Amino acid sequence: MTIIEKILAKHAGKDRVKPGEIVDVEIDVRIARDFGGPNVVKNLIENGLEIDDPSKTFFTFDTNPTGSDQKYAANQHFCRQFAREKGIKVYDINVGIGTHTAIEEGLAVPGATLVSTDSHANIVGAVCAFGQGMGDQDIAAVWATGRAWFKVPPSAKLILKGKRPEGITAKDIVLNLLHHFGANGLLGLAVEVYGEEVEKFTLDERITIASMATEMGAIILLFEPNDEVMAYCGQRAGRKLERISADPDAQYARVFELDLSRFVPMVARPGHPDDSVDIHDIGKVKIDSAFIGSCTNGRIEDLRIAASILKGRKVAPSVVLKIVPSTDRVWQQMMEEGLLKIFKEAGVLVGNAGCAGCAAGQIGQNGPGEITISTGNRNFAGKQGKGQVYLASPAVVAASAVAGYITTPGELPPRPVTFQELKATSFSYKPQPKPHTEKRQAPTVVEGKVWIIRKDNIDTDMIFHNRYLTITNIEEMGQYTFDNLEGWEDFARKAEKGDIVFTGKNFGAGSSRQQAVDCFKSLGIQAIVAESFGAIYERNAINAAMPILTYDARILEELDLQQRDPVRINFETGEIVNLRNGKKAQLNPFSDVQMAIYKRGGLLNKAS
């Protein structure tokens, strides 16, 4: 078996599993964060569910570790009260990013399983554990039962051949991978990473690369643990751990070979992490701000690199550099090694450990018109604020902050370049309340008019922007649907109850937020039909009883489907009929699991 098959088989109590098989998996580590946590608690209380095992259940307050926003503060306090009552451990606002904490605390170890309301829970692939981001209902079910259903993903092998060039960091490596694979080139795959140089990667470097599996559509990137990783995890866990590796005769759906020696320093242009180019191809792009941190690059090795560039230098005039360590342990190391003194003397703002602006919380956000260079994992429109965000390595971000424009450490100018301050416009939005949608028996055949959105890789920030994540009432969500998707900002006002959405590949890429599904339910949308879905989004939709189906793009031509045509869809058979012209085609029908969850009205509803 492959690595992922071994982990899932062991936790499902099976001798072996195969791709496509749906298995019931025991979850070792069960985490809710500060924006997903309140909805997890609400789901448990409203459905009369209890905690299966408090010792395996955790809150991690990492998206807004200052509690500076009133809604975040209220949500955190709500979760703390619940935790006290149920005996659940809270890694509070002083600790740092939950996935990193799980590794540091010896919770995520080789061969373990972990779920979180964080879409980057698959970061634990860095230590050869299986991690998945999930929506609020999914996590509530895991907290109540200790288990989750999973479809065993096909495995792929990625071999990085050749020597790593001088100055190529882990962030450069993953941006090169994004340039090669794009946003969906690894869609639905569990990818094992191999190579002579890979064996030498430090834990921090493995974390950086694993953290961006989601941005390539992968279920997870898995690294076989080397001696350094085994020693670290064993010491943190306080016990001897078993090394895990794939069998020599394991079967892989795909094998990729890339020449690591040809990798170059990269920058991802605003809007898409996969729009990564050679840094020398973008010219001297002026910046207003810079950010070093996030689950991708907030490790001590990243901060050491930044300090080596900033030592004896100043951040350029009119440029703001913000640094946020990933965890409190990293913060302590930063102080002990004198890095904090270097940062402060350079004019850096250092924040509490956590996700920071990457999650639209704490420090690190930018304003309209602001150009930021960031070490984050995503630069979707609006993800880190209302400005534009370039992604790069800590070395490039630090050098750019000193220069005043995007550059490499080896190309620093003798003096920083200054720029005229950008004028920002204020943003205002007055939401209109939506009427309550009445419950009804779930039909297996539906009719409705179609919206055809011919776009691939529509991410969750485009569907339901992160500035609305504190909304917990489904009735309020519909009005914000697609308001961050260019050309479709007025969708919620035009949509009619009963409509059906057709779209492209990898719909729902990005975050684990449940609201990106629930907003369609709020509007009364009957189904979403896409060429493919992001893995987390697919689970969230199925578990929320939101009808989703996949199709081959040729079907649109077969049906001669036009905007606002009426169609009939049979969820059981997959048959679709264009009621305007009578033409028929075949979609992929519901699976047995999807139909069972749909008929009972959602994962958390009791079977009738």
* Cα→Cα distances 370→210, 318, 319, 338, 356, Å: 29, 12, 10, 31, 17
Q: Is the predicted pLDDT of residue 364 greater than 80, yes or no? A: no
* Per-residue model confidence (pLDDT) at position 418: 66
**Which residues are CB-contacts of 562 (< 8 A; sequence separation ≥ 6)?**
452, 580
* Per-residue model confidence (pLDDT) at position 50: 97
Q: What is the mean pLDDT of the chain?
A: 92
* Per-residue model confidence (pLDDT) at position 63: 84
Higher per-residue pLDDT: 358 or 464: 464
Give the range among 49-58, 466-475, 514-523, 594-603 with minimum mean pLDDT.
466-475
Say how far apart CA 34 and CA 29 lie, in whole Å.
16
* Per-residue model confidence (pLDDT) at position 67: 67
- Assigned CATH class of 266-411: alpha beta
Dihedrals φ, ψ of 7, to 5°?
-65, -45
Q: For 14-32, how does the pLDDT look when each residue is reduced to its tens digit (9 = 90+)? A: 999 999 999 999 999 999 9
* Per-residue model confidence (pLDDT) at position 547: 98
Residue type, 253: A
Decide: helix, strand or coil at residue 96. Answer: strand
* Per-residue model confidence (pLDDT) at position 355: 84
**What integer is the mean pLDDT of 99-109?**
97
pTM for this entry: 0.84
Q: Is the predicted pLDDT of residue 371 greater than 70, yes or no? A: yes
**What integer is the mean pLDDT of 507-516?**
94
- pLDDT band at 423, cuts 50/70/90? very low
Q: What stretch of H or E contains 9?
A: helix 3-12
Say how far apart CA 335 and CA 384 lie, in whole Å.
27
Q: Is the predicted pLDDT of residue 40 greater than 80, yes or no? A: yes
- pLDDT band at 414, cuts 50/70/90? confident
* Cα→Cα distances 15→1, 249, 600, Å: 10, 16, 31
How many CB atoms are closer than 10 A to CB 197?
16
Written in H, E and C, the secondary structure of 172-237 is: HHHHHHHHHHCCCCCCCCEEEEECCCHHHCCHHHHHHHHCCCHHHCCCEEEECCCHHHHHHHHHHH
The architecture CATH gives domain 445-599: Alpha-Beta Barrel (3.20)
**What integer is the mean pLDDT of 534-558?**
95
Give the range among 218-232, 369-383, 420-434 with minimum mean pLDDT.
420-434
Say how far apart CA 560 and CA 555 lie, in whole Å.
8
* Per-residue model confidence (pLDDT) at position 360: 62
* Per-residue model confidence (pLDDT) at position 438: 52
Pairing of strands 575-578, 584-586: antiparallel
Say how far apart CA 254 and CA 19 lie, in whole Å.
13
* Per-residue model confidence (pLDDT) at position 361: 61
Residue listed under structure tokens 């920071």: 356
Higher per-residue pLDDT: 325 or 606: 325
- pLDDT band at 434, cuts 50/70/90? very low
Looking at the chain, the domain(s) classified CATH 3.30.499.10 span: 3-262, 266-411
Decide: helix, strand or coil at residue 160. Answer: strand
**What integer is the mean pLDDT of 293-306?**
94
Closest CA to 220 of 148, 153, 297: 153
Q: Is the predicted pLDDT of residue 80 greater than 50, yes or no? A: yes
**pLDDT cut 70: percent of the chain above it:** 95
Residues shown for the chain: 608
Tokens standing for 388? 């534009």
* Per-residue model confidence (pLDDT) at position 384: 74
* Per-residue model confidence (pLDDT) at position 435: 45
Residue listed under structure tokens 């590794």: 103
Count Cβ neighbours within 10 Å for each residue of 14-42 and write b for 16 or more, e otherwise. eeebebeeebebbbbbbbbbbbbbbbbbe
Q: Is the predicted pLDDT of residue 426 greater than 90, yes or no? A: no
* Per-residue model confidence (pLDDT) at position 433: 54
Tokens standing for 5? 């098959």
The CATH number of domain 3-262, selected from 3.10.450.50, 2.60.120.650, 1.10.150.120, 3.30.499.10: 3.30.499.10
